[in-house]
Amino acid sequence: MAENLKYTLSEEMEKVERVMTENLKILMKEMNKKLEEKHEEMEETRRDLRGLENVNTFLYNRERESSDELYEARKKLIEALRDFSGGESCKIGVKSMGDLDEKPFVKACKQRFSNEEAEVQGIRLCSKWKENLKNLSWRPFKCVWTGDKSEGEEVVNAVKTAHEELNEFCPNCRYIVPVAWNYEQGRQATLGEGIAHMANQINTLKRKRT
């Protein structure tokens, strides 16, 4: 009887072992399947990311090309506008952003010097301020008030305008930048406005020839 009990116990243990082995195989199979699915998901994500990188690279290159093309178009427009330059009397023209106007300096010097000497002193003073404007660390805005008016108020405004233009159009290099300018509205002209203006100028010249 003891032998039968021993045999039965051994048989039961073998059954349990077989069941556990089968369950372990099933579990391993399921885990492998899930790992494969995760691996496939990761591969798909990598493919998507590579696709996005390609799209981003394409868009970046296109944006850069468009920017370069726009820059070249504006450059050619400025060259063409210079040939038809009429100064501020024209609706669209070329303006040198950051260029300091000499006229307020000459005008201020006329209060102390003769007209001829004022011209020389005004230009010399303006040149000195132009050099100051090229200095990134220079802070020009200090007004000295005498009564109801500041000394050289027009000069201060001219320097302020040139300083602001340099900060906007060339903050790092601090050199004068030519731009197509809408004098009528006091702003930078669009490419379309410049082209339309050039077309009108050409048509006017054609009419004058006939």
Same domain, 158 and 198: no
Same domain, 152 and 208: no
Does residue 6 fall inside a structural domain? no
- What does pTM read for this prediction? 0.58
- Please check the confidence at residue 57 and state whether its pLDDT lies above 70: yes
Compare 140 and 44 and report the one with higher pLDDT. 44
CB 99 within 8 A of CB 181: no
The per-residue pLDDT of the chain, averaged, comes to: 80
- Please check the confidence at residue 18 and state whether its pLDDT lies above 70: yes
CB 81 within 8 A of CB 93: yes
* Over residues 55-66, mean pLDDT: 79
- Range of 33-42, 123-132, 153-162, 168-177 with top mean pLDDT: 123-132
Same domain, 111 and 161: yes
Number of domains in the chain: 2
Same domain, 73 and 120: no
Same domain, 112 and 168: yes
What domain range includes position 118?
Answer: 99-175
Does residue 23 fall inside a structural domain? no
Same domain, 57 and 76: yes
Three-state SS at 60: helix
Same domain, 91 and 191: yes
Compare 208 and 169 and report the one with higher pLDDT. 169
Same domain, 147 and 87: no
Q: Which of 105, 122, 100 is nearest to 175 (CA)?
A: 100
Same domain, 77 and 103: no
Same domain, 56 and 103: no
- Strand duo 177-182 + 187-188: pairing: antiparallel
Same domain, 66 and 168: no
Chain segment 71-117, per-residue pLDDT in tens = 888 888 888 888 776 555 678 889 999 999 999 999 999 989 998 89
Three-state SS at 93: strand
Same domain, 123 and 110: yes
Q: Which two tokens stand for residue 99?
A: 């260029």
- Please check the confidence at residue 120 and state whether its pLDDT lies above 80: yes
Residue 96 burial by Cβ neighbours in a 10 Å radius (0-12, 13-18, 19+): middle
